[in-house]
Amino acid sequence: MKKALLKDSIKEIVKTFKRFISILLIVLLGVGFFAGIKAASPDMKITLDKYFDDKNVMDFQVISTLGITNEDIEEIKNLEGINYVEGSYQTDAIVKIGEEEHVVKVETVTENINQLEIIEGRLPENENECVVETNFLTNTKHKIGDTITVETEKITDDEGNEKELLHNKDLVIVGEIKSPLYISRDRGSTKLGSGMIDYYIYISKDNINTDIYTNAYIIAEESKDLKCFEDGYEEKIEKQIEKVDEISDRRREARYNELFNNANEKLQEAKDEFNTKKADGEKEIQEAEEKLNSGKQEIITGKNQLQKGKEEINNKFKEARKQIEEARETLNTKQKEFDDKKKDVENRIGEYENNLDNLKNIQTQYNSLKESLNTKQKEYNNLEEKLKELDEKEDQDEITNIKNKMESLNLEITKLKATINVIDEELKNQGIDDINTSVSTLENAINNIKLELTNGQKAIDDAKYELEKQEDEIDKQEKNAYNELAIAEKKIKDSDEEIKKGEEELNLAKEEYNTKIAEAESKLDESEEEVNSIQKPDWYILDRNQNAGYVSYIQDTDRVAKIAEVFPVVFFIVAALISLTSMSRMVEEERVEIGTLKALGYNKLQIANKYLIYAILATLVGGIIGLVIGFKILPKIIADIYGMMYEVPDVVLEFNMTYAAIGMSAAILCTLGATIYSCIKELRQKPANLMRPKAPKPGKRVFLEKITFIWKRLNFTKKVTARNLFRYKKRFLMTIIGVGGCTALIIAGFGLRDAISSMIPSQYGKINLYEIAINLKDEYKNEELENINNNILGYKEINNILNVNVQSIRIDKNDNNQTIQLIVPEDVNKIEKFINLKSRTKKDEKYTLDNSGVIISEKLAKLLDIKVGDEIKIINIDDKEANVKVSHITENYIMHYIYMSPELYNTVFDTRIGFNVIYANSNEMSESEENDLGKEILQNKDYISGVEFTSASKDMFEEVMENMDLVVWILIISAGLLAFVVLYNLLNANITERIRELATIKVLGFYDKEVYEYISRETIILTIIGMLFGILGGYFLTIYIIKTCELDILMFNPQITIWSYLLGIVITGIFAIIVNIITYFSLKKIDMIESLKSVE
Amino acid sequence: MAYIEFKDVIKEYKMGEVTIKALDKTNFEIEKGELVVIVGPSGAGKTTALNILGGMDSATSGEILVAGKNITKFKNKQLIKYRREDIGFVFQFYNLVQNLTTLENVELATQICKKPLNPKEMLIKVGLEKRIKNFPSQLSGGEQQRVAIARAIAKNPKLLLCDEPTGALDYKTGKQILKLLQDTCRKEMMTVIIITHNAALTPMADRVIHFKNGTAYKIETNQNPTPIEEIEW
């Protein structure tokens, strides 16, 4: 029985294949779109979850204002429910490439958490290596193997010493990586450079010159088993965060104590050192003073002694001289006496000398005689000798000669002897025995006397000499003594001077000492204050919801899900309507069969089963094909579109049972509902009634006929059309919804494109009027700024400039994490040439900046629900807070801005603002000219850190926008499918349902064209009405899609151009024309005879 | 030469592998202004012959001459033109357009003709003066058929072809309809061909064509046709 029914259904399907297909198709579209778009969001989330699990991305992290110690990490690790903890060091740094400075986020490579994806190369192994993200390489034209220099700020270690953070600043790029922590393009903000981080790089832990970490990344136990966007996960992580929060007080205290004690110890040491040094100094001064005093005393005694010594010496030498004088007188007397005596003696010596002279004469004669005698005697002796020798030789002649000589000699000798005797005799008479002795005696006597004399004189002379010597000695001594005195005196004088000098020096030293002490004391006070000002660190425990990329990704996927809620509704409604028309026609057509079955005793359900099975089959087959296609294709396309904005792996496509079930249920509800509705109407009738041909639907007058003045003007065919239009309400509704939906989708597609593409020219052509933004190294004011300005104005391409202060700020409202740029122009009157502050809706309303409040950008106002006149609390880059009033809301499409006058800024933040960016208007330039100018400006490296051309931002955004074309295509294709299904169904309905009517007019002789017009006039009017609704629907759909899918930092321009409307109409029209062409040929084929055969 | 001539007309239908001959060498002639009744059992080929004559179907072979024109040679467009200008059809089930009023149903036909008769007058003639603004569903069967006849006649066709015009009607109403057709033929000098399976009606015709097995096997002519009022069945 059941088999029979199923068979019957299948036969029916074959018989009415077109009808079956149209139900199947619309279900396919509805379910496919619903499930596909709906699944895109969870698929993308699952992809992210899996990616995060694969890379061991942290569940949450702890950031401490005073750093995280190894003990902190240990303690967290020991908490229950914590799977893994790892510390990491993060800092912002500047990398200079050419003339340009790039701000990078530097982080240490973590081992088992937040693992990096290596695209090329390897991870850093040594302290001089780093890895960088892909953008860094492409934008800076660096490659692996190149070296970059990273400039970080100095750090203060726990002992309070300043030092370099990195051991090594020159880093070799060894790899290209992707970090799961940065899935969006947002790299966060910084206090360096332009305020925005350009790139991230990772370095080895070894390169960090400290044991303290900035972050502790934490993975909770079993967190990977949960999907990170589900409530269970959040709950679990929240619990873990609470646990960490519980120990945070203690850990913070510990860290505080550690740092405080360190500092305090150091302070105490310094204090002790100060005190000892102070005491030492004082002692030294005292000693010096004492020394000076004793020196003074010594000088006084010295002076006294000197006086005494002088007197003594004077006395001593007076006495000595007196004695010498006395001695000299005595000596003089002695001389006189001696001189007298000498005269006497000299007389006597004269006598003696006379005697002596006589005697000496005699003596001389005597002696010469004696000598001659001796000589002769000797000669004689010699001859005698000779003679003796000659005897032996017997030389007679010789002998004789010698004997003769001897004879003569002998004679002479005798004579001489005789004379000598005579003299001797005489001398004897005179009493002299030996003349020689007498002479010598006499001589001796004289000599003795003379000697005595000389001796006497000599003694006197000696005495005199002695005396003189003594006198000299005394003189010498006196001189020496006086010299010594003089020296001593000088010495005293010198010491005196020295002491005076010493005194002066001492005074100076004292002064110095005092100032130094004061200085040291104030320094100590300062350090003490510093020590006391050490605050307990704050712990920020941040989960993934504080990761900008993660949050925006999740938000974006939610947006997609929201679109899935409206978008397929059109398809479902149309599915219901198509089912309704198809099924009721089918039931009507088979009323006789139904009647027969009923008459045979089948109950309602059994009869209805056939139609229900038919509907279910169409729905199931369509739905399943739709699910397969939808799940396979749509999430991929959507994920690919988002993939251009996020760096996540290829989407994981899952068969999402929930959405499959919801989509299928909705489709079945629509088709079955429609079928049951159609069946019930017929089944209620009596079998007999059913067996009879159905009374044709009675003709009715339409309300238009009551408006006679219009009705009258319509010609016959138009009247027919008008009446027919209102006759088939289901068809009317279906067509309007279908065609309207199609038009609306196409308009939405193009409208979305309009909204996005007009954003760029609006932002960069009508709002941001400057061509160049020149980033300065620092904030400058006054002359410095003037110099820079003059320099910049020196470039001939630059016409006009405006100094501004640009900084990233936050608004303390609604827990928002929007990145907002505060722009403070130096001259509020000049800003209109650089930034157009105006109303978006009121064409001519321009705003000026004044001191009464700030102007904020439109999207920001919308996001944070801020209205003109509201007061907002802004937090500037130095974490200072201020309340300001919002005076206007300005048109803006890309990013968030707050504009403020410098006076207001100075007032609310109590400061004097400097300027860090120069906006410049330039001549029109080609890209290469821009590059050249950029390079030239960057030459001024002393004060310029970067040059940005708005054309570059324009290009970048344009690229992103190109991707949106894909969305437009999806919309157009789906719209086309919708229009096609609906119009084709309409055609089908028109032909089968009105076949007798058509055959009749054919028989009447209507030409093919006329037959076609008879039908198409209705279709065309319905299509036009549908289009009109579609225009309206398209407008609202565009607004809806824009609202749900625009990014936070963007405001799409919700102005749909006339072209989009036209395109929506034209494309829908093309679909309608295609269907109409098919209609034409279908009508031509109608067999009049078959159609007009009796009803049975 | 007769006004209408069927010469060896064959009509074959291919039902899969089987070929059915609906008309098998049918030959007959009809003169202008005649009231013709075609009789025969079901499946004898009456309707097929009428459909081919009316330009709704084409013959497989043979010739059909209408006013000297061979309509079997007509192209589709010529056929439509032929239907439009020369033919008026009346069906068993009226085939009125439900969504049009009585008048409009007639106008539907007249608006495409060159020399139509006045639709209103036509309706008055068929006695539906008071029903002009009604929709078909508000009319009785006889009334509906009268509308159908009015629609057919209003075109001012050369031929009025009626396929079982009284088949769905009771005796009295049927008689009225037949009277209308007979009157039309006589007054308007229109050639009227009526198909019926009721042989009792034959006396009313100028010419009776008997069909059997796809051929007109007997053609009779009545020199003095009986007015319909006098025929009883």
- As to burial, measured by CB atoms within 10 angstroms (0-12 exposed, 13-18 middle, 19+ buried), residue A857 is buried
Any A CB within 8 A of B83 CB: yes
- 3-state secondary structure (DSSP) of residue A946: strand
- Residues on chain B touching A692 (C-beta within 8 angstroms): none
| Interval A346-377: pLDDT, tens | 888 888 888 888 888 888 888 888 888 888 88
The minimum CA-CA distance between B224 and chain A, rounded to whole Å, is: 33
Any A CB within 8 A of B112 CB: yes
Token readout for A166 is 């990195």
Residue of B nearest to A695 (CA): B137
- SS3 sequence, chain B? CCCEEEEEEEEEEEECCEEEEEEEEEEEEECCCCEEEEECCCCCCHHHHHHHHCCCCCCCEEEEEECCEEHHHCCHHHHHHHHHHHEEEECCCCCCCCCCCHHHHHHHHHCCCCCCCCHHHHHHHCCCHHHCCCCHHHCCHHHHHHHHHHHHHHCCCCEEEEECCCCCCCHHHHHHHHHHHHHHHHHHCCEEEEEECCHHHHHHCCEEEEEECCEEEEEEECCCCCCHHHCCC
Does residue B148 contact residue B136 with C-beta atoms inside 8 Å?
A: no
What length does chain A have?
1096
Q: Which amino acid is at A243?
A: K
Q: How much is the ipTM here?
A: 0.91
Range of the domain at B165: 4-230
Within its chain, how far is the Cα of B6 from the centroid? 16
Q: Provide the 8-state DSSP code for A230.
A: S
Residue of B nearest to A1094 (CA): B93
Within its chain, how far is the Cα of A1072 from the centroid? 60
In A942-1006, where does DSSP find H-type helix? 950-962, 964-993, 995-1003
CA distance A521 to A528: 10
- Residues on chain B touching A725 (C-beta within 8 angstroms): none
- 3-state secondary structure (DSSP) of residue A79: coil
Q: How many CB pairs under 8 A join A and B?
A: 88
Does residue B125 contact residue B150 with C-beta atoms inside 8 Å?
A: yes
For CA atoms A739, A743, A744, A746, give the dihedral sign.
positive
Does residue A1008 contact residue A1083 with C-beta atoms inside 8 Å?
A: yes
The minimum CA-CA distance between B222 and chain A, rounded to whole Å, is: 31
Between the alpha carbon of residue A137 and those of residues A175, A198, A403, the distances in Å are 10, 12, 152
Binding-face residues of B in 34-73 toward A, CB within 8 A: 51, 54, 56-57
User: Which of A731, A732, A1003 is the best substitution to test chain B (most B C-beta atoms within 10 A)?
Assistant: A1003
Does residue B206 contact residue B35 with C-beta atoms inside 8 Å?
A: yes
CB contact under 8 A, A1004 and B83: yes
CB contact under 8 A, A1095 and B92: no
Selecting from B80, B100, B107 the residue whose C-beta is nearest the C-beta of A699 gives B100
CATH assignment at residue B147: 3.40.50.300
The neighbour count for residue A680, using CB atoms within 10 Å, is 12
What pLDDT sits at residue A1056?
81
- Residues on chain B touching A698 (C-beta within 8 angstroms): 98, 135, 137-138
- Residues on chain B touching A1080 (C-beta within 8 angstroms): none
- As to burial, measured by CB atoms within 10 angstroms (0-12 exposed, 13-18 middle, 19+ buried), residue A841 is exposed
Spatial neighbors of A763 by CB under 8 A, at least 6 apart, are: A892, A893, A894
Instruction: Give ∠ CA A556-A559-A561 in degrees, rounded to 5.
Output: 115
Domains identified in chain B, total number: 1
Does residue A702 contact residue A726 with C-beta atoms inside 8 Å?
A: yes
Between the alpha carbon of residue A130 and those of residues A87, A90, A133, A430, B168, the distances in Å are 18, 14, 10, 147, 98
Does residue A581 contact residue A734 with C-beta atoms inside 8 Å?
A: yes
Does residue A190 contact residue A92 with C-beta atoms inside 8 Å?
A: yes
The minimum CA-CA distance between B230 and chain A, rounded to whole Å, is: 30
- Residues on chain A touching B111 (C-beta within 8 angstroms): 716-717
- Residues on chain B touching A1092 (C-beta within 8 angstroms): 91, 93, 95
| Interval A933-959: pLDDT, tens | 887 887 777 788 778 888 877 776 666
Within its chain, how far is the Cα of A760 from the centroid? 30
Token readout for A756 is 């996005």
Strand segments, DSSP code E, in A766-910 are 772-780, 798-811, 820-825, 854-857, 871-875, 881-890, 896-899
Residue A691's nearest CA partner among A592, A803, A580 is A592
The minimum CA-CA distance between A958 and chain B, rounded to whole Å, is: 57
Could you give the dihedral angle defined by the CA atoms of residues A709, A1015, A674 and A672, in that order, rounded to the nearest 10 degrees? Answer: -160
Q: Which residue has the tokens 């904030």?
A: A779
What pLDDT sits at residue A816?
67
Residues of chain B with pLDDT under 70: none
What length does chain B have?
233
CA distance A1082 to A925: 61
Q: Consecutive 10-residue runs of chain A (1096 residues): their mean pLDDT? A: 70 82 85 84 87 90 87 88 90 84 89 90 91 89 90 80 86 92 79 76 90 90 83 86 86 85 84 87 87 86 86 86 87 86 84 82 83 86 80 72 84 86 81 75 82 84 86 86 85 86 87 87 84 81 82 78 73 79 80 82 82 88 90 84 78 85 88 86 78 66 73 76 79 84 86 78 86 86 88 87 88 74 90 89 86 91 89 84 91 90 91 90 83 81 80 70 68 79 79 82 86 85 90 87 74 82 89 87 83 62
- SS3 sequence, A172-226? EEEEEEECCCCCCCCCCECCCCCCECCEEEEECHHHECCCCEEEEEEEECCHHHC
Does residue B214 contact residue B49 with C-beta atoms inside 8 Å?
A: no
CB contact under 8 A, A698 and B98: yes
The neighbour count for residue A912, using CB atoms within 10 Å, is 11
Selecting from A716, A1001, A1003 the residue whose C-beta is nearest the C-beta of B107 gives A716
Q: Which residue has the tokens 């007979």?
A: B182
- As to burial, measured by CB atoms within 10 angstroms (0-12 exposed, 13-18 middle, 19+ buried), residue A556 is buried
